[in-house]
A and B are shown apart, each in its own frame.
Chain A
Amino acid sequence: EVQLVESGGGLVQPGRSLRLSCAASGFSFDGYAMHWVRQAPGKGLEWVSGIGWNSKNIGHADSVKGRFTISRDNARNSLYLQMNSLRAEDTALYYCAKDIGGEPHAFDLWGQGTMVTVSS
């Protein structure tokens, strides 16, 4: 089955760190760019980070630049998001999403998401 399964979310205090993971299955993971997209409760979609198939092409939204780092392990079919210096405004459902190609374009497969709540 083609799917993405996120994990690693939870409740964390402001200023702390969290690492999200996304396990991919059912497709050739190393052939596609991957992304993290978040959605705050009741709000719209916000692209967070993206990474090309071979990790050479990486991008982050201005809102997370310098705090979040995206990475991937093609041998493990896994995508990661290291989130440091977390803020209340980072509270959101974080989706892992597969790109339609090897470099960043549009997203044709989404996981169910993992919730991150930043609060003291």
Chain B
Amino acid sequence: EIVMTQSPATLSVSPGERATLSCRASQTVNSNLAWYQQKPGQTPRLLIYGSSTRATGVPARFSGSGSNTEFTLTISSLQSEDFAVYYCQQYNDWPLLTFGGGSKVEIK
């Protein structure tokens, strides 16, 4: 099973600042990586797939990068609605898909 490790566990950021979240895979997942956003009491929302492709309707301030084992989600200028928990997920190792443990972005 590929283990996905996200860091930091919690990131404190002021509105308007840049946020950078990391996701590391225990072995290569090529570019088969997705990012999700989950706000309290809500269902997860797909942000990025294929490491860097934004899903439909996702604002351009969200960007994904990386390949093989190292990935990054960047939020260029945090808006109030961006404070949430973010998860990465690999889909390279079918039939075993795995999520990272999540990174919480909170208001500083």
Answer yes or no: do A and B interact. yes
B-binding residues in A (CB < 8 A)? 35, 37, 44-47, 50, 57-62, 95, 100, 103-108, 110-113
| Interface contact A45-B99, CB-CB below 8 Å | yes
Query: Given A45-B102, A110-B44, are A59 and B95 neighbors across the interface (CB < 8 Å)?
Result: yes
The answer, among A35, A62, A95, A105, for a CB contact under 8 Å with B43, is: A95
How far, in angstroms, from A113 to B99 measured CA to CA in the complex?
18
Given contact pairs A47-B89, A47-B97, a sample of 4 additional A-B residue pairs in the complex whose CB atoms are under 8 Å apart? A103-B94, A104-B97, A105-B49, A105-B91
Q: What's the minimum C-beta distance from A7 to chain B, rounded to whole angstroms?
A: 16
Query: Contacts of B98 on A, CB cut-off 8 Å?
Result: 47
Q: Considering only CB atoms, which chain A residue lies closest to B101 in the complex?
A: A44
Verify if B32 is at the interface (C-beta below 8 Å from A).
yes
Query: If A47-B89, A47-B97, A59-B94 touch, does A108 touch B102 (CB 8 Å cutoff)?
Result: no
| Chain B residues in the interface with A (C-beta under 8 A) | 1, 32, 34, 36, 38, 43-46, 49, 55-56, 85, 87, 89, 91, 94-102
Complex: A62 Cα to B93 Cα, angstroms:
13
> Which B residues lie within 8 Å of A62 (CB)?
1, 96
CB-defined contacts of A113 to chain B, threshold 8 Å: 43
Q: List 13 A-B contacts (CB under 8 A).
A: A45-B38, A45-B87, A45-B102, A47-B98, A57-B95, A105-B34, A105-B49, A106-B91, A107-B34, A107-B44, A107-B46, A108-B49, A110-B45
Residue of A nearest to B89 (CB): A106
With a cutoff of 8 Å between Cβ atoms, the chain A residues found around residue B36 in the complex are 45, 107
A100 to B56, CA, bound (A): 11
Rounded to whole Å, the gap between the CB of B23 and the closest CB of chain A is: 13
**For B87, what are the chain A residues with a Cβ–Cβ distance below 8 Å?**
44-45
Q: Is the CB of A108 within 8 A of B44?
A: no
Given A105-B32, A110-B43, A113-B43, is A44 in contact with B102 using a C-beta cutoff of 8 Å?
Answer: yes
A37 vs B101: C-alpha distance in the bound complex, in angstroms? 14
Is B43 a contact partner of A47 (Cβ separation < 8 A)?
no
